[in-house]
């Protein structure tokens, strides 16, 4: 690093330890001995430098903290005396609560207490409040300190503020540090090493240059400032990159988020607006008097955000530092503009000869009245009570299938006889015509001759360059080491770390390539325990013993210094099994040895990833074994061998057996790395970390509220807002939610005419933006509830001065809450959402333009997904009434009720507009399903656009109703369960089957259930032939009873828990998992999907007694009656019952030979056509030998094709 150049660190991981102070710990504590503290926290930031070298920066003078409100006298002596008493009380509380072995005499747990001022965020407050910032020495005491303050164990009861924010996040917020982004240090020095990183330096907190970047934080910024200087810090780099791309690639502006809208939110009338206006006037008159003016010392009290500088020995001047862009965009190729093609040119006139005609003489003829034209016919539909289009309904093509008591006619409807029109006389001049042959069409040669003069004027067609090169993108500097372990097991049991030694370790090193289009760079090998050298065609390193194997792995990890340690199943075959074996057999703490810091625990400085857990959150599958995931993600089949098989191979004297086992382990560990690359988990997590401002591992381990709060705090801290930290008891004492979303019970039916689906775009975020809904803009209830104006977990009552000043500048929401208008104060949440959604629109616009740059596309896709998730979970942050970090049930009710009335008004408009001829059939939270009987697909899209425009025009921006799709035909089953053939545009020729909530897309059933339901829906949509559906269903049921369906299609997979309330009523999957644990030691993971089958058992057996693992199937027959009658028939009945079909009657009508259902079997049938009869070949097949031979040949060909497919699969697996 050149002298004077700042140190740049690409932050990947953050840890902290408690250490004795060194020369860099310059903070003088007023409570320590001679100003010094015995132990201070030190942050350890791990990452990479610009050349890829791994680096660790130890950061000093950063203390965890929280706030409490100060209500005492604002006098210097009074404040000092109060802080000393509070510090002594907290130190005493810590000393009495900790175990005696951890308490040291004169030990100080409180580092400092500073007076500061801020504005309360929970409710509208326009005056400063005073707080004491309590900085303490041990981040592990955060919850203990929160309990002391909340329970009054130090002086009296306090309401803690920002006590729920963790130490690492506090540092990242205060110093504007983002995960997977660059941190710049002005000065750094070297001290004695304590990590295995190649570069290790120490720095003080005030050396971080990121904090010195000044940005505007004006709450009244206009729409244009979203792009120039957004208040969400992570979006600044996005807009800067967009401006560079726009200038470089000549990109147009992104679409507007709000569009042109003249409706103001104040003009929006709710159902109870008049009543609420009267109540608001009464509230203003009854408001209490305001507080006195601030004391003189107020001007000398720093705001909370500036108290960070109090811990620095010298306060560096604030400088304007250029924001470091995440990547520098340079074009890899020039984009050639497209030219008009031959198809888009103007039509060329074709010369044609004229037909000569002679002068005609006059005659008199009598004609009948001419037929009606199309326009005249369209005007007669209403006269005959007919629809413009009569779609074919469901019917039976075989009269034998029609049930006796069907309830409606199944005959095809016909038209009434048309009476015609009376003949009339008409005079025409002319004579009887003569017919003559017309001229023949021109030949190819003639056309070529005509086009010859035009060829010279046509532009040449330039081929669009099919560039596969990646666009500019930033390297993530993430390196990953995956391992897979082979163990000498005892029999079929899973490895036991206490007894089973490790025979080999297969590893794959994975690092992102410099060019992101090429993906990752891989390097694989094997560490083998063998006393002699092994000569195999594999990268093998032999070691003499298991202890040497562990030491070699530790050396490799320290040498390569990976950021991530990954394994597909950590506890069964990877790092967890390795650590347990090392501790049990050799007393080695692998979590400490494999960490980056000497002596630290829990893999300090590295992230440990359980890949199957990641796969379960990113892709929806019925099972998550490695082989199953590889088949669906990588589309490769791979064999699976038991632990006993691999142990036998490893102990074999033959080289081929050992090579087979080692190749198997290598293949598994390579698949683990390939899955991480294919699913883009690491890339997506890195972009999420940068967008949310948290570290890499917190994206995977923390929930959505943590992400929202990180973004919110980055906006509130520079504005000096103070966020409260409610306890679990305070959250539980909130009022119960009063409002629920509108979810209608649909008019269950099959609709043959188009059904228009309209959706409010981001309804809840749009409501928050349109009406300025936020904690900091809320004026509370208009009327008291049980005598108090309760807001969330607090009682909030604005003073008289505030209410009178804001009398006409409020929005009244339908649940009785008032919010100030944006020109008074723009809410933090609305501003954040507006910027996030605007940035997402910009990112999606860039995605469409930069479609040829694969590397950039991956990154942009991850960014827009991060923005989408952030916008979608912001409402949940307000409405999390059970585990919320800062919930407010009244604000959540405001959003829900406003969205509900918005949806109801849209429904009312649709139903009272007769020219559309529409009927509402379903509504769900933010969606409308509108049926337009007798209309065409194009009419449906036209009507849908008109509805969207009319409804959107009635609401303030950015509330927008958009036409999402058109279903034709469709099935509405119940709430959140429907299916239809989807059309996204009028030009779409082929529909796509779209299904929501039905079993065919759920994972808790089996494959036969899903396939059978999908086939019936498609048959119903495409043919409307109930006879065809009946024949198909009976044919499949016959195959099931005959055992002609593969058992793997009947496997059911359900999630299991580790703890159940009652062992007597365990689900079948849990019973199978417990049996596997008892027999083979295979303990299930919490949330793991366990596969099982249902077999025949004793009469009156419980379902859990009939469940077995798929590996036990060879000794039991499958319970086909359970599969058909309990899992298949109910599923089909929900669908076909809408068209009047009794599926159970179809099932009962199947041929059977026994008196009971348990004895049902196949009746004799024809081997050619399958007709039920007494002969092997029926009479019809004997009479048509050619047709019979053709059918038999086709069946033989299909059987041979299946055999060849199975042979190909078997040979492929054998070669692996």
Separation CA 286–CA 885 (nearest Å): 33
Separation CA 610–CA 572 (nearest Å): 11
Domain boundaries, the chain: 7-213, 479-679, 726-994, 1018-1162, 1163-1215
> Cα 597–598–604 angle (5° rounding)?
35
Q: Just give the CATH number of 1018-1162.
A: 1.10.132.60
Separation CA 843–CA 849 (nearest Å): 10
Dihedral class, residue 16 (left if φ above 0, else alpha if ψ from -120 to 50, else beta) = beta
Sheet holding 1107-1108, edge to edge: 1052-1055, 1089-1094, 1107-1108
Q: For position 411, what pLDDT does the model report? A: 54
Separation CA 74–CA 498 (nearest Å): 65
Q: CATH homologous superfamily for 7-213? A: DNA Polymerase, chain B, domain 1 (3.30.342.10)
Q: For position 744, what pLDDT does the model report? A: 92
Q: What is the DSSP string of 1096-1127?
A: --STT--GGGSEE-GGGGGGS-B-HHHIIIII
Q: Just give the CATH number of 726-994.
A: 3.90.1600.10
Contact at 8 Å (CB) between 358 and 904? no
Helix runs in 587-654, H state only: 590-593, 611-618, 626-633, 643-651
Residue 570 carries which DSSP code? Answer: H
Contact at 8 Å (CB) between 633 and 679? yes
Q: For position 1156, what pLDDT does the model report? A: 40
Separation CA 40–CA 561 (nearest Å): 27
Contact at 8 Å (CB) between 1150 and 1165? no
Q: What is the DSSP string of 99-154?
A: -GGG--TT---EEEEEEEEEEESSS---S-EEEEEEEES-GGGHHHHHHHHHHT-S
Token readout for 203 is 């720095």
Enumerate residues 6+ apart whose C-beta is below 8 A from 1163.
1151, 1152, 1153, 1172
With the C-alpha atoms ordered 1189, 1195, 1198, 1200, is the resulting torsion angle positive or negative? negative
Dihedral class, residue 680 (left if φ above 0, else alpha if ψ from -120 to 50, else beta) = left
Is 650 in a helix, a strand, or coil?
A: helix
Distances in Å between the Cα of 291 and the Cα atoms of 57, 894, 950 are 48, 29, 48
Separation CA 756–CA 66 (nearest Å): 53
Token readout for 1158 is 């348990």
Q: For position 333, what pLDDT does the model report? A: 32
Dihedral class, residue 869 (left if φ above 0, else alpha if ψ from -120 to 50, else beta) = alpha
Residue 458 carries which DSSP code? Answer: S
Q: Give the number of other Cβ atoms within 10 Å of residue 1033's Cβ.
A: 23
Separation CA 203–CA 177 (nearest Å): 15
Q: For position 259, what pLDDT does the model report? A: 60
* pLDDT tens, position by position, 781-820: 888 887 788 898 998 888 777 888 888 889 999 988 999 9
Strand partners, 965: 757
Strand partners, 1088: none
Residue 1128 carries which DSSP code? Answer: I
Token readout for 579 is 């650590």
Token readout for 208 is 């971080």
Calculate the CA 1044 to chain-centre distance.
39
Token readout for 1212 is 């492929």
Quick one: how many helices (H) and strands (E) in the chain? Answer: 35, 31
The helix-helix angle for 889-911 and 937-953 (nearest 10°) equals: 130
Q: Just give the CATH number of 479-679.
A: 3.30.420.10
Distances in Å between the Cα of 969 and the Cα atoms of 394, 943, 1003 are 11, 17, 25
Token readout for 402 is 């029609």
Distances in Å between the Cα of 44 and the Cα atoms of 54, 56, 59, 139, 195 are 13, 7, 6, 14, 10
Enumerate residues 6+ apart whose C-beta is below 8 A from 24.
60, 61, 189, 202, 203, 204
Nearest by Cα to 263 from 956, 986, 1216, 795: 956
Q: For position 290, what pLDDT does the model report? A: 60
- Rg of the chain, C-alpha, whole Å: 37
With residue 682 as reference, give the H or E element that holds it.
Answer: helix 681-692
Separation CA 637–CA 521 (nearest Å): 23
Q: For position 326, what pLDDT does the model report? A: 35
Is 606 in a helix, a strand, or coil?
A: coil
Low-confidence ranges of the chain (pLDDT < 50): 215-224, 314-361, 422-431, 454-473, 1153-1163
The helix-helix angle for 1026-1042 and 1129-1136 (nearest 10°) equals: 180
Residue 22 carries which DSSP code? Answer: -
Nearest by Cα to 91 from 112, 60, 77, 64: 112
Enumerate residues 6+ apart whose C-beta is below 8 A from 975.
743, 744, 745, 746, 924
Is 880 in a helix, a strand, or coil?
A: coil
pTM (predicted TM-score): 0.83
Calculate the CA 182 to chain-centre distance.
27
Q: For position 443, what pLDDT does the model report? A: 72
């Amino acid at each position: 690093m050149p002298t004077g150049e700042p140190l740049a660190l690409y932050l990947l991981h953050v840890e902290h330890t408690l250490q004795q102070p060194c020369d860099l710990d310059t903070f003088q504590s007023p409570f320590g001995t001679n100003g010094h503290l015995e132990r201070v926290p030190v942050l350890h930031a791990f990452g990479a430098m610009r050349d890829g070298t791994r680096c660790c920066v130890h950061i000093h003078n950063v203390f965890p903290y929280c706030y409490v409100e100060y209500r005492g006298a604002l006098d210097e002596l009074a404040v000092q005396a109060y802080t000393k008493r509070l510090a002594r009380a907290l130190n005493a509380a810590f000393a009495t609560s900790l175990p005696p072995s951890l308490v040291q005499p004169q030990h100080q747990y409180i580092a400092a207490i500073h007076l500061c001022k801020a504005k309360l965020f929970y409710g509208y407050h326009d005056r400063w409040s005073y707080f004491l910032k309590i900085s303490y020495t041990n981040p592990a005491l955060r919850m203990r300190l929160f309990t002391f303050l909340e329970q009054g164990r130090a002086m009296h009861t306090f309401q803690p503020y920002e006590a729920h924010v963790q130490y690492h996040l506090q540092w990242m917020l205060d110093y504007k540090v983002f995960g997977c982004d660059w941190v710049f240090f002005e000065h750094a020095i070297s001290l004695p090493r304590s990590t295995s990183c190649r570069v290790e330096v120490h720095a003080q907190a005030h050396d971080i240059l990121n904090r010195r970047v000044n940005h505007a934080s004006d709450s009244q910024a206009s729409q244009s400032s979203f792009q120039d200087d957004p208040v969400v810090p992570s979006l600044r780099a996005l807009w800067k990159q967009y401006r560079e791309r726009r200038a470089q690639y000549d990109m147009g502006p992104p679409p507007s988020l709000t569009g042109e809208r003249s409706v103001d939110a104040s003009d929006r009338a709710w159902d109870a607006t008049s009543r609420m206006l009267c109540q608001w006037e009464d509230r203003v008159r009854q408001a209490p008097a305001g507080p006195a003016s601030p004391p003189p010392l107020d001007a000398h009290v720093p705001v909370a955000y500036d108290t960070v500088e109090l811990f620095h020995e010298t306060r560096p001047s604030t400088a304007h530092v250029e924001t470091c862009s995440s990547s520098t965009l340079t074009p890899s190729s020039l984009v050639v503009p497209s030219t008009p093609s031959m198809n888009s040119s103007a039509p060329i006139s074709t010369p044609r000869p004229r037909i000569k005609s002679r002068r005609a003489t006059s005659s008199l003829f009598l004609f009948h009245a001419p037929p009606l034209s199309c326009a005249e016919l369209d005007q007669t539909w209403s006269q005959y009570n007919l629809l413009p289009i009569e779609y074919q309904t469901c019917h039976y093509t075989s009269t034998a299938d029609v049930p006796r008591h069907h309830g409606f006619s199944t005959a095809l409807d016909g038209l009434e006889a048309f009476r015609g029109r009376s003949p009339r006389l008409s005079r025409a001049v002319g004579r009887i015509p003569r017919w003559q042959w017309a001229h023949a069409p021109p030949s190819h040669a003639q056309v070529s001759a005509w086009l010859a003069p035009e060829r010279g004027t046509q532009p040449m067609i330039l081929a669009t360059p099919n560039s596969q090169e990646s666009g500019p993108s930033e390297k993530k500097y993430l390196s990953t080491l995956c391992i897979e372990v082979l163990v000498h097991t005892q029999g079929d049991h899973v490895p036991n770390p206490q007894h089973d030694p490790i025979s080999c370790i297969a590893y794959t090193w994975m690092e992102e390539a410099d060019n992101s289009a090429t993906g990752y760079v891989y390097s694989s090998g094997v560490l083998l325990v063998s006393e002699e050298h092994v000569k195999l065609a594999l990268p093998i390193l032999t070691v003499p013993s298991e202890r040497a194997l562990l030491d070699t792995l530790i050396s490799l990890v320290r040498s390569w210094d990976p950021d991530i340690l990954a394994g597909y199943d950590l506890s069964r075959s990877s790092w967890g099994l390795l650590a347990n074996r090392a501790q049990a057999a050799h007393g080695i703490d692998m979590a400490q040895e494999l960490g980056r810091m000497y002596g630290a625990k829990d893999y300090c400085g590295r992230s440990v990833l359980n890949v199957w857990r990641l796969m379960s959150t990113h892709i929806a599958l019925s099972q998550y074994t490695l082989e199953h995931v590889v088949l669906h993600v990588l589309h490769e089949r791979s064999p699976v061998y038991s632990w006993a098989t691999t142990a036998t191979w490893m102990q074999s004297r033959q080289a081929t057996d050992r090579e087979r086992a080692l190749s198997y382990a290598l293949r598994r560990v390579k698949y683990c790395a390939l899955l991480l690359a294919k699913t883009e988990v690491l890339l997506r997590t890195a972009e999420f970390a940068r967008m949310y401002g948290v570290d890499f591992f917190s994206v995977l381990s923390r929930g959505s509220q943590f992400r929202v709060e990180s973004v919110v705090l980055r906006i509130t801290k520079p504005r000096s807002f103070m966020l409260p930290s409610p306890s679990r008891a305070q959250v539980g004492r909130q009022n119960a939610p009063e409002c629920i979303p509108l979810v209608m019970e649909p008019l269950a039916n099959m609709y043959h005419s188009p059904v228009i689906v309209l959706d409010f775009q981001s309804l809840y975020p749009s409501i928050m933006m349109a009406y300025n809904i936020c904690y900091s803009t809320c004026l509370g209830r208009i009327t008291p509830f049980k005598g108090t104006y309760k807001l969330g977990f607090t009682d909030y009552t604005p003073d008289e001065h505030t209410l009178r000043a804001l009398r006409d500048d409020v929005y009244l929401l339908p649940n009785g809450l008032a919010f100030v208008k944006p020109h008074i104060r723009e809410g933090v949440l609305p501003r954040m959402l507006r910027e996030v959604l605007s940035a997402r629109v910009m990112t999606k616009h860039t995605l469409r333009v930069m479609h040829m740059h694969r590397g950039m596309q991956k990154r942009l896709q991850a960014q827009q997904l991060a923005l989408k998730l952030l916008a979608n979970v912001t409402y949940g942050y307000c409405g999390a009434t059970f585990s919320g970090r800062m919930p407010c049930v009244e604000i959540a009710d405001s959003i829900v009720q406003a969205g509900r009335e918005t949806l109801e008004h849209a429904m009312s408009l649709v139903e009272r507009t007769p020219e559309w001829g529409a009927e509402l059939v379903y509504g769900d939270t933010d969606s409308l399903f509108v049926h337009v009987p007798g209309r065409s697909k194009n009419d449906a899209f036209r009507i849908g656009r008109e509805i969207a425009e009319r409804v959107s025009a009635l609401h303030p921006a950015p509330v927008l109703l958009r036409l999402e799709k058109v279903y034709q035909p469709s099935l509405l089953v119940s709430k959140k369960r429907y299916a239809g053939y989807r059309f996204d545009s009028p030009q779409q020729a082929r529909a796509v089957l779209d299904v929501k909530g039905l079993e065919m897309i759920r994972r808790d059933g089996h494959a036969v259930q899903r396939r059978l339901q999908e086939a019936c829906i498609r048959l119903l949509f495409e043919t409307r032939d109930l006879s065809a559906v009946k024949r198909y269903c009976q044919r499949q049921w016959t195959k099931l009873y005959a055992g002609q369906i593969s058992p793997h299609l009947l496997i059911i997979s359900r999630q299991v828990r580790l703890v159940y309330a009652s062992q007597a009523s365990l689900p079948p999957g849990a019973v199978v998992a417990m049996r596997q644990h008892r027999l083979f030691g295979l303990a299930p993971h919490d949330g793991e999907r366990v596969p099982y089958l249902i077999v025949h058992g004793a009469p009156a057996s419980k379902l859990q007694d009939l469940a077995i693992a798929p590996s036990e199937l060879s000794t039991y027959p499958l319970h086909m009656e359970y599969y058909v009658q309990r899992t298949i028939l109910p599923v089909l009945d929900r669908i076909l019952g809408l068209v009047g079909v009794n599926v159970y009657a179809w099932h009962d009508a199947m041929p059977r030979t026994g008196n009971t259902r348990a004895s049902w079997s196949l009746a004799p049938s024809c081997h050619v056509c399958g007709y039920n009869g007494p002969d092997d070949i029926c009479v019809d097949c004997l009479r048509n030998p050619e047709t019979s031979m053709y059918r038999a040949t086709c069946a033989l060909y299909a059987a041979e094709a299946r055999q060849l497919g199975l042979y190909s699969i078997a040979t492929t697996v054998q070669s692996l």
